[in-house]
């Protein structure tokens, strides 16, 4: 008897998704609630669990197909899991015995078994594997159920010993020689998330009167405070003290002073809010996602850091929900973690402002008539000029700058 696997409810107003990846193949055993497929919605990736224990039967749709909520995507033959899973167990024990008896011959077959795992890599991970030239079978995955993520591939590439390069060179030389002058292209279909991001960002450019104002901030005081208290902070709160806690807290204070930056336009009305829901960009296996720190005005620096840490962990595990992404009145995007010196971020409608953070860089500045070196960061505020005037944008950035350069202001709300 076969059991249908259907597309689960994905969230309010979301009626369809894209089947991004099959996590199980026909004939493979599956347990109850074990993920068998990954769906890509407009905002997050959602895993489809197995409703019963059994063996994967027919896969009704292909990777990349668009599916509606409630549609059948696969069928599971129930009741066959025990017999199916028992046989490999016997074979595994037999294989172990053979391996012990014929140790010299076994290593040659090991890569064949591991290479099958590469078939379950997501498209973005496959591209990263090709780009960085690493062996995915030798990477320990940190994603959900031990799956390899793009971050794992990048980390593995960085940790590769330099002495390994010459050994790999001869193998790579042959294809290069045989394909001299050949130019290759690869076409990869955009994920639903990337399509949605592209649509919304272009919509923002077409709708809002966007303008970006810059300032810079001396990070000396925040760096000193962080270095002084980071160990005690982690011991007490169980989370690392980063810079985002300071910036979110400072942004909340600046938004109270300049409420227009936290407002939005709806039709011919301006909506002002007495709360601040901050959207923060975090890295996930399928790209950047933007969960929301709700009621940030009520949180301490430790509460903000705990929330961001939880978002980062769940994003890597693919456990962020649609509810985590909804809303948001203001966005903070930290391009500095990737080395960005300066940028003009695009607002996320219906929000009216986005703060861009960048890398910290030692630069010469004048203090008390003397040229000194300080750790400086450029700040960028992109805003909807239909609602926010230049004076308000500059006032916001100056208030933020003052709070970061003198963190005591964060304690006394000044």
Contacts of 128 (CB under 8 A, 6+ apart): 150, 153, 154
CA distances from 29 to 24, 34, 113 (A): 8, 10, 17
- Would you mind telling me the total number of residues written for the chain in this entry? 414
The residue to which tokens 């390994």 are assigned = 164
- Residue from 117, 151, 216, 385 carrying the catalytic annotation: 385
Rounded distance between C-alpha atoms, residue 308 and residue 244, angstroms: 8
List 368, 389, 406, 413, catalytic entry: 389
CA angle, corner 219, sides to 214 and 223, nearest 5?
Answer: 150
Evaluate the CA torsion angle 355, 360, 364, 368 in order and state its sign: positive
Is 301 within 8 Å of 232 (Cβ atoms)?
no
Let me know if 389 is a catalytic residue.
yes
Read off the DSSP letter of residue 191: P
Q: What are phi and psi of 4, to 5 degrees?
A: -75, 140
Question: Phi then psi for 121, rounded to 5 degrees?
Answer: -75, 145
Do 318 and 289 contact (CB within 8 A), yes or no?
A: no
Told to judge if 92 belongs to the known catalytic residues of this protein, a careful annotator would answer: no
Please list, in sequence order, all residues whose beta carbon lies within 8 angstroms of the beta carbon of residue 216, skipping any fewer than 6 positions away. Answer: 376, 377, 378, 379, 401
How big is the CA angle at 175 (ends 173 and 181), to the nearest 5 degrees? 105
Q: What is the DSSP string of 11-74?
A: STT--EEEEEEESS-TT-EE-TT-EEEEEE-SS-EEEEEPSSSEEEEEE-S-TT-EEETT-EEE
What DSSP character marks residue 189?
P
Contact 102, 94 (CB under 8 A): no
CA 122 – CA 285 distance, rounded (Å): 9
Both tokens assigned to 190: 């955009």
From start to end of 268-345, where are the E strands?
269-271, 278-280, 282-284, 287-289, 292-293, 330-334
- Give the active site residues: 385, 389
């Amino acid at each position: 008897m076969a059991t249908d696997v259907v597309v689960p409810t994905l969230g309010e107003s979301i009626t369809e998704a894209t089947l991004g990846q099959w996590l199980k193949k026909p004939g493979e055993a599956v347990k109850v609630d074990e993920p068998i497929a990954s769906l890509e919605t407009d905002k997050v990736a959602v895993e489809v669990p197995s409703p019963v224990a059994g063996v994967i039967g027919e896969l009704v749709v292909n990777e990349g197909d668009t599916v509606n909520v409630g549609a059948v995507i696969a069928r599971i033959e129930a009741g066959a899991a025990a017999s199916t899973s028992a046989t490999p167990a016997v074979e595994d024990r037999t294989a172990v015995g053979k391996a012990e008896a014929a140790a010299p011959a076994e290593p040659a077959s090991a890569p064949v078994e591991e290479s099958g795992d590469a078939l379950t890599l997501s498209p973005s991970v496959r591209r990263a594997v090709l780009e960085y030239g690493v062996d995915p079978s030798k990477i320990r995955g940190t994603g959900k159920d031990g799956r390899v993520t793009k971050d794992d591939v990048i980390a593995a590439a960085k940790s590769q010993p330099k002495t390994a390069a010459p050994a790999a060179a001869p193998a790579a030389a042959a294809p290069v020689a045989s394909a001299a002058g050949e130019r290759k292209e690869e076409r990869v279909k955009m994920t639903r998330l990337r399509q949605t991001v592209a649509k919304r960002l272009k919509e923002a450019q077409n709708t809002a009167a966007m303008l970006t104002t810059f300032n810079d901030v001396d990070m000396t005081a925040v760096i000193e405070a962080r270095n002084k208290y980071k160990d005690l902070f982690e011991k007490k709160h169980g989370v690392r003290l980063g810079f985002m806690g300071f910036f979110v807290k400072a942004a909340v204070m600046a938004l109270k002073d300049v409420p227009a930056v936290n407002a939005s336009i709806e039709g011919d009305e301006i909506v002002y809010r007495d709360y601040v829901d901050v959207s923060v960009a975090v890295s996930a296996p399928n790209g950047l996602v933007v969960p929301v720190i709700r009621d940030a005005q009520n949180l301490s620096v430790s509460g903000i850091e705990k929330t961001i840490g939880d978002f980062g962990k769940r994003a890597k595990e693919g456990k962020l929900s649609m509810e985590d992404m909804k809303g948001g009145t203001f966005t903070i995007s930290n391009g500095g973690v990737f080395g960005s010196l300066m940028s003009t971020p695009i607002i996320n409608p219906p929000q009216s402002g986005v703060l861009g953070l960048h890398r910290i860089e030692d630069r010469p500045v004048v203090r008390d008539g003397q040229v000194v070196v300080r750790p400086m960061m450029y700040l960028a505020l992109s805003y909807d000029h239909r609602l926010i005037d230049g004076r308000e944008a500059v006032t916001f950035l100056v208030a933020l700058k003052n709070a970061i350069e003198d963190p005591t202001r964060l304690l006394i709300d000044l």
